[in-house]
């Protein structure tokens, strides 16, 4: 048996099974009847167990080791079989493929299969319980399930192993190579600069954003959102838009990427910016190069880089003056006639209003990273067992006051607002802030590469942007690491300076 | 390792994987973006291969053989483990469980894994091509895919083995124990009696059914359908109603059954009777007893018995005068005001109009079995290689003229109308006619057991019916064979006389 051929076969099977598992998850959040959850949890658990078993199987290890040797001997000729989905790799792709499989096998081998299945079950049930708890604003309802998930998470961190903190192997799952040794000082610096900057912006301007709180039927919002998606080149023959409690993007196939949003009938920015945000994720997953199609390399580099794409579209494009120069007249004329007497500047200030806010996904782009810093500190403490779950709601509220100067009136708009912990996704939140920083850095490069792009945005044209992102980020998939990619695109490693300069420029010099 | 425990574990895994595969299929027909089909076909193929491998694995055989020995020795005490989904069986359930696993392993062992995966792939692609071909009324477009599927089907029949005709092992998949030696004379007798009876009914009455061809918006049709579903006790916390090209019922979990329909905005019987029909299937799959939950026994006895449930609701209840005595005033007042001047009798005659028709799923209940007899003869000939695919459209049209006295004007309303052959489901069609015969027989028993039931139907109450079906059919799952069940409920084996008497009584004596 040719080990390359065998490894490519296994790789593609895992690729397919992961998408099947994604369908189970997508359906659970969108269309599944409520009582389907019990068996769905079992189904997901079984799928995850199957995937895990396949990754750690002796056949996989053998193929991986064999492929590495063949790489050394440069015997690539027999690499590909007759399967249409297997395309030849370049040497760089081959090396990346082995790097990713090495990482995957190394991580998976440390995790007992029983833990995979217990975690899959606990989080599947946990998500349903979280949704109910959030609806009823009852942390008590969610508490035992979160406790169970946290215990399994600590078990997971222990199994993966760590030097300094059990949080490190968790964040590494989402942002390969990242550790608290890097994150903690980065976030501390960001906090020190951003908290006073945020306060300065808030006190420098008072915005009356009543124009955003107008009745706007769900169907019309959806239609407007679909129109923006079409302009962004979101390909509906390969993608969908649906509704879920918590917006997300899920990839169910190489040509099947689904985004969701939620509609607030009297506050349309929720849905519209949510759609633009998720479409940014979606375009990434729809843009992987043909040569890496159907392989482990057809994935985002890291969640931070993934989030850079969604934040890029949501904030740097979607909240841009040039963007609404095109869309505002259309919105006024065709969708929301109540806006016809609202001046453009009022609208623009409203959608860029900076203020202390409770809900992360609706936060302005300035205070957004502060929401993340709060979650980072809390979840790190939970994992390190220096904070108990009973004390979590109070710690949340205290942190909100400290960082944002505002306190939730109930847990539904506080500690229960995010789905992540119910999914067992500890270590995920930091990637949102990293994404924000990457996006600022990429945006700066785009403007350098294409100085005319703002004029194109004013005409509702995004071809240059999509093309640029595709070439610089999307087609490459997981070939390069986050650090390599950031250096390639911007000439420097991740640097919060870009974001802070963008904020100062936009909010203290231009808009206000 | 306790073989019973092991077999129950394997059984439950297969149960879960089959539901995962059903989700892949359901999603393909309802929400999947069009270009998702290529990878979806691979995903389904992989899942079917996994299920097949599990069934034929040495571990499964060993557990099955071990369990049989333990059955002999009556060592049942250690049968169940700590798993919540495993409930103890009664001796009858235990025997049925072994019978079904014996059958499953015996069949699967004869089918090479490669054939399973080739068939899954060919039919997944075939379904998409069929949908396109039907839309464009182009048999040529579908022909090469059908040819491929037919070749694989013959290979399948050969692998399964047969004495008289390769059609026998195919129909046995859907109707265990059924052969052409029984079917052919049964259908020949039915044809001989039904063709003249059908002609007599058609010539005895002329019905002007213009009242059914009124504009009726999709949303309102759906609302009306949902209301009927609610009255039938269709549990939306465990079920859904969606839209697809070809209506179907799919079971995605013990508490997750999904039906679909399609809406014709100027002919509402399509959707409404479709919904009632599929709900009949759905209630069956939602009604399996707790003791067999999550096992191979939690399935319909056969497709014929399954179809008896849908036909029972669609025709014997849904086209009943008593049914519309309740619903017609509601339909007139709340949903379709254009009907307010249409007398009840006109409406009732319209929905029971008997006429030569082209489309099976919209055929009246009298001529419906003739549509099946046509398909039975054609697909049997295809499988036996006495009819070529090139000659199929002409043979279809000739058969229509002979049996129903009507000829399709294009293949979209002829040979391309049904999804089944694109799914590789040769041998499936006869079960529709068997279902019709069973339903007539069951209905006769219901009226004997509960003579007051027609008065309840007049009040929109179906509790007695649901309870009766649940007790007599649903809770039992696959414990008894179709023949055993039919005898238990009606005191005799399948007998077309019930159906023919029902038709004569309803159409020649009562309505017209």
Residue ranges, chain B, pLDDT below 70:
71-86, 510-512
The secondary structure of A114-159 as a DSSP string is HHHHHHHHHHHHHHHHHHHHHHTT-HHHHHHHHHHHHHHHHHHHHH
Contact A33 B242 (CB under 8 A): no
State the Cα angle at B8 between B4 and B10, rounded to 5°. 115
* A131-137 mean pLDDT: 94
- Identify the three-state secondary structure at position B241: strand
Contact A23 B27 (CB under 8 A): yes
Q: What Rg do the C-alpha atoms of chain B give, in angstroms?
A: 23
Contact A40 B238 (CB under 8 A): no
Q: What Rg do the C-alpha atoms of chain A give, in angstroms?
A: 23
pLDDT digits (tens, 9 = 90+) for A11-50: 999 999 999 999 999 999 999 999 999 999 999 999 999 9
Is A278 assigned a catalytic role? yes
DSSP letter for A334, please: I
Chain B CB contacts of A27 under 8 Å are 23, 27
- Identify the three-state secondary structure at position B260: strand
Contact B24 A27 (CB under 8 A): no
Interface test with B, best of A18, A36, A54 (most B CBs within 10 A): A36
Closest C-alpha among A435, A270, A276, A275 to residue A351: A270
Chain B CB contacts of A33 under 8 Å are 236-240, 255-256, 258
Chain A CB contacts of B85 under 8 Å are 42
Question: Does A82 score more than 60 pLDDT?
Answer: no
Give the minimum alpha-carbon distance from A433 to chain B in angstroms, rounded to a whole number. Answer: 32
Check residue B361 and give its pLDDT: 85
Check residue A71 and give its pLDDT: 64
Question: Residue B66, Cβ neighbours under 10 Å: how many?
Answer: 16
- Select the residue of A19, A237, A239 nearest B43 (Cβ to Cβ): A19
Using the structure block, give the residue that is written with the tokens 């203290």: A508
In the sheet that holds B239-243, the strands lie side by side as B239-243, B256-261, B249-253
Q: Exposure pattern of A316-331 as b/e (b: 16+ CB <10 Å)? A: bbbbbbebbbbbbeeb
Contact A20 B24 (CB under 8 A): yes
Contact A50 B47 (CB under 8 A): no
Q: Which two tokens stand for residue A11?
A: 């790789």
- Select the residue of A35, A239, A255 nearest B238 (Cβ to Cβ): A35
Question: Residue B244, Cβ neighbours under 10 Å: how many?
Answer: 19
The C-alpha atoms of residue A47 and residue A27 are separated, in whole angstroms, by 15
**Residue A113 pLDDT class (50, 70, 90 cuts):** confident
Instruction: End-to-end CA distance of chain B: give it in Å, rounded.
Output: 67
- Closest chain B residue to the Cα of A40, Cα to Cα: B253
Check residue A259 and give its pLDDT: 98
State the Cα angle at B414 between B409 and B420, rounded to 5°. 165
The alpha-helical segments, DSSP class H, found in A254-408 are 269-285, 303-311, 321-330, 344-351, 368-383, 392-404
Chain A CB contacts of B240 under 8 Å are 31, 33
Q: Exposure pattern of A231-252 as b/e (b: 16+ CB <10 Å)? A: ebbbbeebbbbbebebbbbbbb
Chain B CB contacts of A255 under 8 Å are 33, 35-36, 38-39
Beta bridge partner(s), residue A240:
A258
Closest C-alpha among A502, A353, A511 to residue A441: A502
Contact A39 B254 (CB under 8 A): yes
Check residue B76 and give its pLDDT: 52
Using the structure block, give the residue that is written with the tokens 């709601």: A393
- Closest chain B residue to the Cα of A10, Cα to Cα: B46
Catalytic residue chosen out of the listed positions A6, A48, A173, A278:
A278
Give the minimum alpha-carbon distance from A6 to chain B in angstroms, rounded to a whole number. Answer: 16
Contact A253 B50 (CB under 8 A): no
Whole-complex ipTM? 0.90
Check residue B512 and give its pLDDT: 39
**Residue A80 pLDDT class (50, 70, 90 cuts):** very low
Chain B CB contacts of A17 under 8 Å are 46
**Residue A510 pLDDT class (50, 70, 90 cuts):** low
- Select the residue of B16, B36, B40 nearest A43 (Cβ to Cβ): B16
Give the minimum alpha-carbon distance from A254 to chain B in angstroms, rounded to a whole number. Answer: 7
Check residue B82 and give its pLDDT: 45
The C-alpha atoms of residue B263 and residue B246 are separated, in whole angstroms, by 11
- Select the residue of B33, B39, B43 nearest A239 (Cβ to Cβ): B33
Q: Is A343 exposed, middle or buried (0-12, 13-18, 19+ CB in 10 A)?
A: exposed
Contact A35 B252 (CB under 8 A): no
Distances (CA, A) of A84 to A7, A64, A87, A238, B42: 15, 21, 7, 20, 11
How many percent of chain A have pLDDT more than 70?
A: 96
The C-alpha atoms of residue B419 and residue B126 are separated, in whole angstroms, by 9
Closest C-alpha among A162, A185, A184, A187 to residue A172: A162
Give the minimum alpha-carbon distance from B39 to chain A in angstroms, rounded to a whole number. Answer: 6
Check residue B284 and give its pLDDT: 98
- Closest chain B residue to the Cα of A47, Cα to Cα: B17
- Identify the three-state secondary structure at position B252: strand
- pTM, two decimals, is 0.91
Question: Residue B501, Cβ neighbours under 10 Å: how many?
Answer: 13
Check residue A78 and give its pLDDT: 46
Beta bridge partner(s), residue B240:
B258
The alpha-helical segments, DSSP class H, found in B266-421 are 269-285, 303-311, 321-330, 344-351, 368-383, 392-404
Among A117-131, A208-222, A486-500, B242-256, which is the least confidently predicted range? A117-131
Among A141-155, A433-447, B68-82, B153-167, which is the least confidently predicted range? B68-82
Contact A256 B42 (CB under 8 A): no
A and B: number of Cβ contacts within 8 A = 102
Check residue B71 and give its pLDDT: 64
Domain ranges, ordered by start, for chain A: 3-173, 180-511
- Select the residue of B24, B33, B239 nearest A237 (Cβ to Cβ): B33
**Residue A165 pLDDT class (50, 70, 90 cuts):** very high
Give the minimum alpha-carbon distance from B394 to chain A in angstroms, rounded to a whole number. Answer: 35
- Closest chain B residue to the Cα of A85, Cα to Cα: B39
- Select the residue of B16, B39, B47 nearest A253 (Cβ to Cβ): B39
Contact A252 B35 (CB under 8 A): no
Catalytic residue chosen out of the listed positions B79, B148, B278, B314:
B278
The C-alpha atoms of residue A31 and residue B256 are separated, in whole angstroms, by 10
CA atoms within 13 A on the CB side of A157: 25
**Residue A144 pLDDT class (50, 70, 90 cuts):** very high
CATH number, domain B180-511, options 1.20.58.2050, 1.10.1370.30, 3.40.1160.10, 3.30.230.10: 1.10.1370.30
Among A116-120, A318-322, A371-375, B308-312, which is the least confidently predicted range? A116-120
């Amino acid at each position: 048996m040719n080990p390359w051929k065998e490894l490519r076969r296994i790789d593609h099977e895992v690729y397919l099974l992961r998408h099947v598992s994604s369908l189970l998850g997508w359906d659970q959040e969108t269309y599944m009847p409520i009582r389907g959850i019990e068996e769905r949890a079992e189904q997901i658990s079984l799928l995850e167990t199957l995937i895990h078993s396949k990754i750690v199987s002796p056949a996989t290890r053998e193929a991986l080791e064999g492929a590495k040797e063949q790489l050394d001997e440069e015997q690539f000729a027999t690499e590909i079989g007759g399967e249409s989905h297997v395309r030849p790799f370049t040497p760089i792709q081959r090396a990346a493929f082995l790097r990713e499989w090495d990482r995957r096998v190394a991580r998976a081998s440390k995790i007992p299969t029983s833990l995979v299945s217990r975690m899959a079950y606990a989080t599947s049930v946990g998500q349903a319980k979280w949704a109910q708890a959030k609806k009823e604003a009852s942390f008590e309802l969610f508490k035992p399930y979160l406790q169970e998930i946290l215990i399994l998470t600590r078990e997971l961190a222990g199994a993966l192993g760590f030097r300094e903190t059990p949080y490190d192997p968790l964040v590494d799952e989402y942002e390969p190579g990242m550790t608290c040794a890097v994150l903690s000082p980065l976030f501390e610096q960001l906090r020190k600069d951003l908290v006073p900057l945020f306060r300065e912006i808030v006190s420098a301007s008072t915005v009356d954003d009543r124009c955003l709180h107008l009745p706007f039927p769900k169907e019309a919002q959806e239609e407007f959102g679909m129109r923006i998606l079409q302009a962004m080149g979101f390909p509906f023959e390969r993608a969908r838009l649906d509704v879920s409690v918590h917006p997300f993007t899920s990839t169910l196939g190489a040509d099947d990427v689904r985004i969701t949003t939620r509609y607030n009938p009297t506050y349309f920015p929720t849905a519209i910016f949510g759609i633009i945000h998720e479409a940014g994720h979606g375009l990434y997953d729809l843009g992987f190069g043909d040569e890496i199609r159907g392989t482990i390399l057809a994935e985002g580099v890291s969640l931070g880089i993934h989030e850079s794409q969604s934040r890029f579209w949501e904030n740097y494009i979607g909240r841009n003056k040039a963007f609404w120069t095109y869309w505002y007249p259309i919105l006024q004329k065709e969708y929301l006639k109540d806006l016809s007497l609202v001046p453009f500047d009022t609208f623009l200030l409203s959608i860029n209003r900076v203020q202390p806010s409770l809900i992360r996904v609706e936060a302005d782009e300035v205070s957004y990273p502060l929401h993340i810093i709060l979650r980072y500190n809390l979840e790190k403490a939970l994992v390190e067992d220096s904070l108990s779950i009973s004390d979590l709601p109070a710690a949340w509220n205290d942190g909100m006051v400290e960082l944002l100067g505002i306190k939730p009136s109930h847990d539904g708009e506080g500690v229960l607002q995010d789905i992540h912990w119910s999914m067992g996704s500890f270590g995920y939140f930091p990637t949102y802030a990293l994404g924000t920083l990457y996006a600022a850095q990429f945006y700066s490069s785009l403007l350098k590469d294409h100085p005319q792009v703002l004029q194109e945005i004013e005409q509702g044209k995004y071809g240059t942007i999509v093309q640029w992102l595709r070439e610089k980020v999307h087609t490459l998939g997981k070939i390069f690491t986050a650090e390599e990619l950031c250096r390639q695109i911007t000439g420097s490693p991740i640097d919060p300076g870009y974001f802070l300069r963008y904020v100062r420029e936009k909010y203290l010099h231009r808009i206000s």
